[in-house]
Amino acid sequence: MIHVDGLTKYYHDLCAVDQISFAIQKGEILGLLGPNGAGKTTILRILAGFLQPTAGTIRVKDYSIDAHFLEIKKLLGYLPESAPLYHDMLVYDYLDYVANIREIDKRQKLPRIRRLADLCGINSVMHQPIGELSKGYKQRVGLAHAMMNDPEILVLDEPTSGLDPNQIVEIREIIKKIGQEKTVILSTHILSEAEATCDRIVIINRGKIVADDRTANLKQTLSDKSRIDLTLQNADFASLQQKLGTINGVDRLTPIEETDHHLRVSISCQGGVDPRAAIYRQIKSTDWILLEFHQETQTLENIFRELTKES
Amino acid sequence: MRQVLPIFRKEFRAYFVTPIAYIVISIFLLVTGWFFFTTFFLFNQANLRNFFGLLPIIFSFVIPAITMRLIAEELNVGTYETLLTLPVTFLDVVLGKFLACWGFIAAMLIPTAAYAFTVAMLGQIDWGPVAGGYIGALLLGAAFSAVGLLASALTRNQIIAFIIGVAICFSLTLIDKMLFFLPRYLLGIFAYLGADFHFENIAKGVIDSRDVLYFVSVSFIGLYGAHLALQAKK
């Protein structure tokens, strides 16, 4: 459906996107993930025809952004970050205006606007100026704007930023509903969001792809790695290291805090072995007092942090 | 090109939905009405020559005020991104906004027809120069709108857009009044550049193709410049 090929974008001397290539299948919900300034927005803007790449190209179906940007814009629905809309227009007038630009047939216009208003839950604000709406409603109007032409591809730039938890869940539900039949690309720096909505995640850092896999696979590779936090009383790190270091599955011990009263250690584990039973038995054999013992399963959060850490 | 119409309609309505239109039109009528009628009875002539004589100067302040928000505001608020990712071309955007502004100027000139009718009641008015004056005013309005639109495309700050617009329009208006500073062999060229000079010709009721061509050229240069300025932002 969409092929991104060697995409590069320089802002003067600053390289925002560096030789990025990936492909998106029809019906996929793809999450572009990365810290601020990673180049997510730039990629989406190029795809939406707002910016021109310095090098490389994007092909949507049989169209390329260099030659057929108008045709691509007709296939796309795009919601920019924080949904910039005309503040002095009424919601209905705005949607009507978008429908006119999208050349939607006169007779289908009203039913279409009604359907979108239902889908995005903006029926109650149709006759209010956009500038008076709360951020969540603005975002919904933006979503309705993006879906006006029933696009095959929906591009959303940080669709849930600045919303409250309830609104986030609602917007997510809407995106999932759309994603059942459409191709959706969304960017976010919130991992739980990508985890919850996307089929596939592309992690970008400093304009380069650092990971590209299905969400389930990414989680799978993570579940092999886990961490155990341990707090003990009357123990010292050297003897703990001696006792636990040999257990199968324990990779490394790192002291977090060592005081006269207690010792906190983080144990990183590896390979599908669960060392918890062995660790407990070892501790039981001493006169240490076990204050805390819990396993932290790795989330996307951790891999994201690891991949995008400042080197 | 079919997207010009929705953009035009939206921009034209935006003037009248917000107070801008009413403020600008009131000020325009107040200023022209005052300056025209304070001297009207002294001249004791039933024509609108003094009214049309004021227009280039007044337009060079009023029109940049109308055009300043057209693109600068979109750039500032970010709606420019929303607009440009709809299936529109730069040409659609520039033309739609230009026509909206031009339409607004036409709407602003309509109430001044009252001056003509008032004068017609007071004496024998020659309708030829009046018609010429209005045609000239529309041509002048088009040229200044295009210049104002260019100024608006150059910056995201409306005040700066206004000042750039006024500076260009004002220079075009005054350039033929400055001619005595210039050596004789340059006179012809600079006189030709003056908007006031061409406008006066048309306002006399003589519609010369050279004058029309001047206004069309200025409009074209302004719009093309705005088009280039938008393209450069890609």
- A190 and A266 in a single domain? The answer is no
Least confident window among A115-129, A249-263, B65-79: A249-263
What is the three-class DSSP state of B44? coil
pLDDT attached to residue B179: 75
Report chain B residues whose CB lies below 8 A from the CB of A83.
82
Would the CB atoms of B10 and A97 count as touching at under 8 Å? yes
pLDDT attached to residue A272: 65
**CATH classification of the domain holding A260:** 3.30.70.3190
- A150 and A258 in a single domain? The answer is no
Closest by alpha carbon to A81, among B87, B82, B89?
Answer: B82
Point out the residue among B14, B18, B86 whose CB comes nearest to the CB of A98: B86
Are the CB atoms for B173 and B133 separated by under 8 Å? no
Task: State the average pLDDT for chain A.
Answer: 84
Q: Mean of the pLDDT values across residues B206-218? A: 90
Last residue of a domain, one of A172, A199, A220: A220
Closest by alpha carbon to A240, among A206, A281, A196, A283?
Answer: A283
- A209 and A245 in a single domain? The answer is no
pLDDT attached to residue B7: 94
* Higher per-residue confidence, B63 vs A217: B63
For residue B101, the distance in angstroms to the closest alpha carbon of chain A comes to 18
Total number of domains constituting chain B: 1
pLDDT attached to residue B51: 87
Whether A266 has a pLDDT exceeding 90, the answer reads no
With helix as H, strand as E and coil as C, how does chain A read? CEEEEEEEEEECCEEEEEEEEEEECCCCEEEEECCCCCCHHHHHHHHCCCCCCCEEEEEECCEECCCCHHHHHHHEEEECCCCCCCCCCEHHHHHHHHHHHCCCCHHHHHHHHHHHHHHHCCHHHCCCEHHHCCHHHHHHHHHHHHCCCCCCEEEEECCCCCCCHHHHHHHHHHHHHHHCCCEEEEEECCHHHHHHHCCEEEEEECCEEEEEEEHHHHHHHHHCCEEEEEEEECCCHHHHHHHHCCCCCEEEEEEEEECCCEEEEEEEECCCCCCHHHHHHHHHCCCCEEEEEEEEECCHHHHHHHHHCCC
pLDDT attached to residue A81: 86
Residue with tokens 């047939």: A105
pLDDT attached to residue A291: 87
- A207 and A242 in a single domain? The answer is no
pLDDT attached to residue A271: 64
Domain extent at residue A154: 2-220
Size of interface A-B (CB pairs under 8 A): 63
Point out the residue among B17, B77, B85 whose CB comes nearest to the CB of A78: B85
Least confident window among A42-56, A133-147, A225-239: A225-239
- A123 and A73 in a single domain? The answer is yes
Last residue of a domain, one of A171, A204, A220: A220
- A229 and A175 in a single domain? The answer is no
Would the CB atoms of B77 and A84 count as touching at under 8 Å? yes
Whether A23 has a pLDDT exceeding 70, the answer reads yes
Distance CA A182, CA A171 (A): 16
- A29 and A147 in a single domain? The answer is yes
Q: How confident is the model at residue B30 (pLDDT cuts 50, 70, 90)?
A: very high
- A57 and A45 in a single domain? The answer is yes
Least confident window among A42-51, A275-284, B28-37, B212-221: A275-284
pLDDT attached to residue B95: 95
Domain extent at residue B107: 4-232
- A60 and A193 in a single domain? The answer is yes
Total number of domains constituting chain A: 2
How does pLDDT run across B86-95, given as a tens digit for each residue?
999 999 999 9
Tokens, residue A159: 């669709």
**CATH classification of the domain holding A15:** 3.40.50.300
Closest A-chain CA to B87: A73
Sign of the dihedral through C-alpha A17, A20, A26, A31 = negative
**Angle CA B134–B140–B145, to nearest 5:** 125
What is the three-class DSSP state of B124? coil
Least confident window among A109-123, A184-198, B210-224: A184-198
Q: Mean of the pLDDT values across residues B108-133? A: 89
Amino acid identity, residue A289? I
- A199 and A238 in a single domain? The answer is no
- A206 and A264 in a single domain? The answer is no
Interface with chain B: mutation pick from A81, A101, A158, highest number of B CBs within 10 Å: A101
Whether B82 has a pLDDT exceeding 70, the answer reads yes
Question: A159 CB contacts (<8 Å, ≥6 apart)?
Answer: A79, A139, A143, A171, A175, A186, A188
- A202 and A238 in a single domain? The answer is no
pLDDT attached to residue B125: 85
Q: How confident is the model at residue B11 (pLDDT cuts 50, 70, 90)?
A: very high
Residue with tokens 């009721």: B205
Last residue of a domain, one of A189, A220, A251: A220
